[in-house]
Amino acid sequence: MRPSWFSYEKCFKNLLDTISLDELGKDVCINILYDGTKEGLNKDYICKYKNYRNLNIKIFLVNAGSELGSVLIMTRLIASLNLPQNDLIYILENDYIHQKNWVSKVIEVYNEKRNFFDILTLYDHPDRYKQKKDLNFKSKIIAASTQHWRTAPSTCMSFIMTQKVFLEIYPLLRTGISDNQIFKKLRRRGKRLISAIPGLSTHAMTEHMSPSIEWQKLIESV
């Protein structure tokens, strides 16, 4: 279920606002995959944000037809960009809310602690605190200058990695298996995931919000 105050547009505007207000946000390129027709896009709320706050926004019109189709197109697009190996890629679903300064905190942990992890998520999944398999997972705590992080067993399909790591896991992302299975296989390959504590983002589902943050106030204050 969704919170009563949820909307996809609020999540999208929150993303744009938190990037534009971050001192490092000017370096972020936002690539949007729109699964639908040109006519549908022209009527969509996304269109009114194309030139928002001078952000670098590109919209790609695709005909995916399914979640797996979207993943296949997205991963192929990322691979085709030929980015420098240390550039960061954020694969993001459209129903997340972000805290201010998340961009700077991501750059901070990469600058200070990159040897301790391979992939990160901003989402502090509540399963960490109630599911037996998560409670039994032995996490390591990583302290960057302004944010704590913890190793985690898995996350949803919204996470950040370098282009180098993306290319290493590219074939696995294209298999169509669940996010939980993806991260299970990545752990077996020695890939380490960290998540922000407290969360710097949340999945906007009533039973799955990152704890200890008043997300409604946050999304309405940016």
Residue whose structure tokens are 């609020």: 10
Q: Mind listing the domains of the chain with CATH numbers? A: 8-221 (3.90.550.10)
Task: Tell me what the pLDDT averaged over the chain comes to.
Answer: 94
Contact assessment for residue 102 and residue 22, using Cβ atoms and an 8 Å cutoff: yes
Q: Are strands 159-162 and 119-121 parallel, antiparallel or unpaired?
A: antiparallel
Please give the Cα distance from 127 to 195 (Å, whole number).
12
Q: What is the pLDDT of residues 161-206, one digit of tens each?
A: 999 999 999 999 999 899 999 999 999 999 999 999 999 999 999 9
Output the pLDDT for position 222.
64
- Interior angle at CA 1, CA 161 and CA 40, nearest 5: 70
pLDDT digits (tens, 9 = 90+) for 110-166: 999 999 999 999 999 999 898 888 788 889 999 999 999 999 999 999 999 999 999
Q: What is the pLDDT of residue 132?
A: 81
Mean pLDDT (whole number) for 32-40: 95
Instruction: Give the whole-angstrom CA distance, residue 125 versus residue 13.
Output: 22
